[in-house]
Structure 1
């Protein structure tokens, strides 16, 4: 029911906009009895509705991806997700030892055998992010061989 109401509300400015455009092209086209005016409004309104939804989702899920900054990483644990993509995508941790990674990133949230996990905060990677993101670093022969970001 909400979608119908929203579309009806959107139809009104769409109708007047289409009518204004038709008046500019040909003044006789803007008459209320013109079926082209009504059909254009009828088909354009849902397209505008969907475009608004996609725009809203794009705005809500956007977050800046920053180059890794050690100071910013240590100062604000809730914003670490902004720097984590740089670490993973550019393989900046691959080949480092656990000690080197601890010097760079600080103490991990969890360290278990060949895995180290760092808390990244609640990112907007997902539309409704109710779970935090984590950076997982996997080691083999005391060197980092793989990194990944996951949501728990």
Structure 2
């Protein structure tokens, strides 16, 4: 019975990934710092930042960067305080969901954690 459950989960997982890929929810748009910084929430670019998130996470090590390096890469955050920057990501292509990228800094101003939120 345990093997059957494993296979069911495996097949379900594969079908889910294929479904996301076919509906465009998993994108491979290359991260472009200038496009990210100059993004505006318009109908033609609603999901631009979402579309670049996989590339940003996979090709740019955010942990360990300073606040200055993050601003050079992503621009001025929409929200910020001493320990956190927040970047609005726009529409997520999943219904009416929007989201944000939250970057947390330690007391020395170095990234220790980041999270993508969707809701």
TM-score, scaled relative to structure 1: 0.53
The alignment status of 1:93 with 2:56, answered yes or no, reads: no
Alpha-carbon distance in 1 for matches of 2:58, 2:104: 15
Alpha-carbon distance in 2 for matches of 1:63, 1:94: 23
1:78-121: CA deviations, max 9, x gaps?
Answer: 31111122223445211111111111111101002211100111
Counterpart in 2 of 1:37?
A: none
RMSD: 2.2
TM-score, scaled relative to structure 2: 0.65
Q: Which has the higher contact order (CA 8 A, sep 6+)?
A: 2
The alignment status of 1:132 with 2:98, answered yes or no, reads: yes
Residues 63 and 123, structure 1, Cα contact 8 Å, conserved in 2: no
> Which has more radius of gyration?
1
Which structure has more helix as a fraction of its residues?
A: 1
Which structure has more strand as a fraction of its residues?
A: 2
Q: SS in structure 1 opposite 2:63?
A: coil
> Alpha carbons of 1:91 and 1:145: their partners in 2 closer, same or farther (altered >3 Å)?
farther
Residues 84 and 104, structure 2, Cα contact 8 Å, conserved in 1: yes
The alignment status of 1:109 with 2:75, answered yes or no, reads: no
Number of aligned residue pairs: 94
Alpha-carbon distance in 2 for matches of 1:72, 1:91: 15
Segments of 5+ residues of structure 2 without an aligned counterpart are: 1-15, 41-45
Segments of 5+ residues of structure 1 without an aligned counterpart are: 1-53
Q: SS in structure 2 opposite 1:94?
A: coil
